[in-house]
């Protein structure tokens, strides 16, 4: 079965969070839409998957609100399993930077279209910065990009203070997967004394969709936040797989290592896993394989309510 995968985000003033959560959960169940939707006072950020018609109706519902009427989105298609359930969560930030007062709706860097990106980053006066986390950079990045070596986006302010402010180059070009981190990161830089800040419009996914491989400066695959794991040019499925022990994408060398155990561990985490964690992952993998042989869904499957747990009123 082919799944439609759609990513989208929009910074907007959103206060009716609980109402949005309830309505999206109800609609997601009706339309068989899975994935993760993050709601916050600053807007919405999501990656969802499901039948093409269901995803289309889900998006139409959101865009019916004038705050999201012009919200862009990007869709790809895959036969792989993507998500196992729908999670609609409410957070303080739709992408967590942890710095109060950063508002991309008020100040943001200059957007650069994919067709103009190569010329910008070829400029020797430009410092090219990858705003993503270490496990994402591991799988692929733009040639010559500076790796901030962060484990999560909340470490970005420390990277700026400890490294970026010390660079002699003040012309900054940055990129991320879909664009949302760059909007916040560029807003943060502008409020910290950087005058000339650029970011790739629509992120790496937009670049890979529009730029032909022979013209591309991208090297490797792009990590995506679903069980598709990675994509390449044309947004085609990549070859990467994920380690469930540490959540890192794995290379061919990792997969051929004696420290790799499918669904359990890889060379990066094998020696760090506790016995209880290892056995838990092995049991999970056994259940996944059994469910696959029965052509059933294991992870995310709704379990029936045991009869004994259903309370009935006492007789009158």
- What's the longest Cα–Cα distance across the chain? 84
Half-sphere exposure of 277 (CA within 13 A, CB side): 11
SS3 content of the chain, % helix, strand, coil (to 5): 35, 20, 45
The answer to whether the beta carbons of residues 198 and 204 sit under 8 Å apart is: no
Task: For residue 34, give the H/E element and its range.
Answer: strand 34-40
Sheet strand arrangement including 126-130:
110-112, 196-200, 171-175, 126-130
Instruction: Report the SS3 class of residue 86.
Output: strand
Instruction: Report the SS3 class of residue 298.
Output: coil
DSSP summary character for residue 91: -
Q: Is the dihedral of CA 281, 96, 139, 10 positive or negative?
A: positive
Beta-carbon neighbour count of residue 219 at 10 Å? 11
Please name every residue paired with 187 in a beta bridge, in sequence order, or none if there are none. Answer: none
The answer to whether the beta carbons of residues 155 and 207 sit under 8 Å apart is: no
Report, as residue numbers or ranges, the catalytic residues: 176
Instruction: Report the SS3 class of residue 254.
Output: helix
Q: Specify whether the backbone of 149 is left (phi greater than 0), alpha (psi in -120 to 50) or beta.
A: left
The answer to whether the beta carbons of residues 63 and 6 sit under 8 Å apart is: no
């Amino acid at each position: 079965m082919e799944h439609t995968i759609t990513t989208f985000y929009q910074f907007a003033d959103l206060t009716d969070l609980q109402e949005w959560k309830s309505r999206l959960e109800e609609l997601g169940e009706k339309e068989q839409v899975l994935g993760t939707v993050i709601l916050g006072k600053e807007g919405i950020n999501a990656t969802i998957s499901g039948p093409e018609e269901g995803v289309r109706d889900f998006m139409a519902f959101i865009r019916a609100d004038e705050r999201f009427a012009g919200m862009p989105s990007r869709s790809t298609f895959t036969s792989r399993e993507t998500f196992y359930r729908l999670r609609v969560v409410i957070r303080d930030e739709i992408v967590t930077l942890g710095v109060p007062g950063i508002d991309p709706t008020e100040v943001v860097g200059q957007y650069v279209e994919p067709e103009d990106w190569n010329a910008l980053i070829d400029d020797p006066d430009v410092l090219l910065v990858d705003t993503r986390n270490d496990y994402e950079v591991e799988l692929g990045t733009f040639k010559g990009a500076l790796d901030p070596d962060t484990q999560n986006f909340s470490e970005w302010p420390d990277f700026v203070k400890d490294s970026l402010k010390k660079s002699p180059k003040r012309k900054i070009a940055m990129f991320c997967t879909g664009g949302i981190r760059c909007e916040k990161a560029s807003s943060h830089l502008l409020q910290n004394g950087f005058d000339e800040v650029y970011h790739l419009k629509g992120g790496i996914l937009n670049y890979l969709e529009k730029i032909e491989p022979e013209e591309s400066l991208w090297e490797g695959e792009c990590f995506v936040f679903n069980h598709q794991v990675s994509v390449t040019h044309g947004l085609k499925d990549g070859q990467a797989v994920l380690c469930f022990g540490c959540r890192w994408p794995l290379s061919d060398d990792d997969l051929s290592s004696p420290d790799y155990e499918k669904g359990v561990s890889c060379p990066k985490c094998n020696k760090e896993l506790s016995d209880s964690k290892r056995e838990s992952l092995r049991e999970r993998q056994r259940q996944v394989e059994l469910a696959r042989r029965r052509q059933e869904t294991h992870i995310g499957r709704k379990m029936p309510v045991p009869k004994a747990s259903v309370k009935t009123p006492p007789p009158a």
